[in-house]
Chains A and B, each alone.
Chain A
Amino acid sequence: MEQFFGFINSPNLLGIFIKLFGIILGLIYILFCFIMIKQIGTMKETINIKDQGLLRTAALLQLGFAIVIVLYALIVL
């Protein structure tokens, strides 16, 4: 019991919480990025605006940020 309360009060707990929070947040962000990529494709089918792939590049860049967030949370945090 003492060990349990010791763990609860340890400064590591906040670190574990932040790491878990970061991973979950990053995964939700990745999901959002995939939805955005798919949605941009659907929108461009509705109206073809000839953006020379700029929107898709921006959406992929966003996905890149999301992957960096998850990797950072997994490795560094």
Chain B
Amino acid sequence: MTLDSSDKKSRSKHLYSLCVNPEVSFEGQTKSERVILLLRAHPITFVPWIIVASLMFLLPFILNVFLFSLFRFKEVIFINIFWYSVTFSYVLVNIISWLFNVGIVTNERIIDIDYQYLLYKEISASTLEDAVDVTAKTSGFIHTFLHYGDIYVQTAGNIQNIEFYKTPDPSDVVSVINQLMQQHEDRRASL
């Protein structure tokens, strides 16, 4: 991935987990601010909850044999309806959680939006000026094979550090952030 500040073409990779110049806006975005990167967890992180959801989907086929000997027909139907509704909610919660737990890199700031259990929102932000060091960490066979890892943005002073976990192509993302930091530094120096 190469960054060209004049290139405003929108594109995405890995099922929208890495979007370049995405057409999104966020709370607190200034008029001059342009979203350059939108980061989500790599799609491989879907695997655990897809397995659980598949098991939840299949479980009634096995359990119904026993349930019919314990409950009446209409009660078993009720249990099944409720079970599949819960399965649907489980999938929906996981999709929403993935969609809205994002990292945003703009031409001015680096922002990390985290939702824990959907209800607790945590937003960490740092200006490119305050970002001191950006590091990508890829560990293990699966991370290396599928090109995803964690990104740590160290900030100056007491400002909270920013971390993006399980991001696709972490070295490319670090390269983009470094380029932006450099551009920002150059602009400041020329003033």
Report which A residues bind B (CB closer than 8 A): 15, 18, 22, 25-26, 29, 32, 35-36, 39-40, 42-43, 45-51, 55, 58-59, 61-62, 65-66, 68-69, 72-73, 76-77
Contacts and interface: CB of A to CB of B under 8 A. Distances in A.
Given A43-B115, A46-B27, A47-B102, A77 B85 contact: no
Contacts, number: 79
A32 B117 CA distance: 13
Contacts of A26: 82
A9 B186 CA distance: 83
20 contacts: A22-B78, A25-B82, A36-B89, A36-B118, A39-B96, A39-B118, A42-B121, A46-B26, A46-B123, A47-B26, A48-B24, A48-B26, A49-B24, A49-B99, A50-B24, A55-B99, A65-B81, A65-B88, A66-B85, A77-B74
B100 interface: yes
A65 B119 CA distance: 22
